[in-house]
Chain A
Amino acid sequence: SAAFPAASQEDLEGKYGKMAQKYLEKFYDMKTTGRPVGRKTNNNPFVKKLQEMQAFFGLEVTGKLDQKTVKMMEKPRCGVHDIGE
């Protein structure tokens, strides 16, 4: 089966958090100091930008790094930003 194995939110953020941050910086104009973003509260730029990205791709807008979002981020793509810049 091509179904994803179950993974907790912590697992996903631990494994893909850095990749997701880079993705949002590159394609969604997320401004960071270059350090990992902290706690994922609603005011956190990571959460806001992740929501923008999920909305753009028609994914469920959770603001959390879920399986479908990670899968979308891993797809080969164009280097031009999606929004921002």
Chain B
Amino acid sequence: YSTVDKSSAWQKNDITYKIVNFTPDIPRADVESSIKRAFKVWSDVTPLTFTRVYEGDCDIEIQFVSGDHGDNSPFDGPDGILAHAFQPGPRIGGDTHFDDAETFTKNSQQYNLFLVAAHEFGHALGLNHATDQGALMYPTYPSTDPDNFRLPQDDIDAIQSLYGKTSNPIQPTGPTTPSKCDPNIVFNAVTTLRGELLFFLNRFVFRKHPRGGESDLLFIQELWPTLPSDIDSAYENPITGEILVFKEKKYWTLDGFDVSQGPRSIAELGFPRNVKKIDAAVHVETLGKTYFFVNNKYYSYDEDKQAMDKGFPKFIAKDFPGMRPNIDAAFYYKGLLYFFQESVQYEYSIESKRIKQVLRSNSWLGC
């Protein structure tokens, strides 16, 4: 992270703000609640307090403006630049301007006002842009679920370096951004997608072509805005070209980068009620079967008949000798299964029922 000098931050903890005008995109009450929540992001982790004033002087003046609005930093119409804010100081210092040419929302559609405001208030408090891709202070719009937003640790460290910690006995911690070559990396789910590999982890997905090139780290919601974070499992059915993504007792169907259906209940696929989540899923092209791994057992689903095979679930240890229960993720590639357990990956031959190789879980990412 990067910040202004401590001497250029606010030299007080009680900050006032004023909402000068409103966007017509959402009701006033939603603007007010989005702004209030955006300030709370910062006050939750520091001794800072934010008080709204309705007239007179204040520290942070909030406006919705468009085009050239007299501060030598004109806005550029829809998309592009969404907002800007000035670092702490008198007069225009701390002031925050939103581009009124944008459509602001209170949901996961772009551009969520709370997310944009929380970022800008970081500037108004003295934070610069961060290079951590998962940080709130990263320069680009964060395609992350606004309802489940938690301030990332990089931003907590940044703001606390200027204003100190909260007086709460339990210090808040935030999510960190995964590093592809972390030897302890544990993926939530792995699947192929039209020749590429996707590795899901918390809010993120690593996208990689197996034949080479650098992997891209993206927010899951950047590719599929209506998908949740922290998914449990996923698989590609190459016959239909669809990907099924599972979280707890729900699943979504993806057609490339569109969410074509969902969420639906996994009961529709034939899972009994006692299945609370699917640890891993993989489609074996040569058999036309999809295997679902749940704790120490697995289910077999016939994609042609669109029904669960009879006689399942069966024990993983019996039919996949060498494999232990609680598989984190799995995918099928060029006739072999790849099972992920914690930070390890097992290359598995279905034909010989043997583990062929033990690899690090991030070996596909060039690590």
Does residue A58 face the partner (Cβ distance < 8 Å to B)? yes
Pick from B84, B110, B131, B194: contact of A78, CB below 8 A. B84
| CA A81 to CA B141, docked complex, whole Å | 14
Cross-chain contact B119 with A78 (CB below 8 angstroms): yes
Does residue B140 face the partner (Cβ distance < 8 Å to A)? yes
Cross-chain contact A79 with B73 (CB below 8 angstroms): yes
Does residue B79 face the partner (Cβ distance < 8 Å to A)? yes
Chain B residues lying within 8 Å of A2, measured Cβ to Cβ, are 256-257
Kindly report which residue of chain B lies nearest to residue A71, judged by CB atoms. B216
| CA A83 to CA B188, docked complex, whole Å | 35
Q: Mark B72-104, 1 if CB is under 8 A from A, else 0.
A: 010100011111110000000000000100000
Cross-chain contact B139 with A27 (CB below 8 angstroms): yes
Does residue B319 face the partner (Cβ distance < 8 Å to A)? no
Q: Is the interface of A mostly helix, strand, loop or mixed?
A: loop
Does residue B1 face the partner (Cβ distance < 8 Å to A)? no
Pick from A58, A76, A81: contact of B80, CB below 8 A. A76
Range, interface on chain B: 20 to 34
Cross-chain contact B110 with A80 (CB below 8 angstroms): no
Cross-chain contact B131 with A56 (CB below 8 angstroms): yes
| Given A56-B131, A58-B133, also A78-B257 (CB < 8 A) | no
Cross-chain contact A77 with B256 (CB below 8 angstroms): no
Number of interface residues of A (CB under 8 A): 18
Chain B residues lying within 8 Å of A68, measured Cβ to Cβ, are 216
Q: Mark A47-63, 1 if CB is under 8 A from B, else 0.
A: 00000000011101000
Does residue B347 face the partner (Cβ distance < 8 Å to A)? no
Of A72, A76, A81, the most chain B CB neighbours within 10 A belong to A76
Q: Kindly provide the distance from the CB of B238 to the nearest chain A CB, expressed in whole angstroms.
A: 14
Cross-chain contact A78 with B79 (CB below 8 angstroms): no
- Give the 5 A-B residue pairs with the shortest CB-CB distance, closest first: A79-B84, A79-B81, A75-B140, A76-B141, A77-B140
Q: List 16 A-B pairs, Cβ < 8 Å.
A: A58-B133, A72-B140, A75-B141, A76-B79, A76-B140, A76-B141, A77-B81, A77-B141, A78-B83, A78-B120, A78-B123, A78-B139, A79-B99, A80-B128, A80-B139, A82-B139
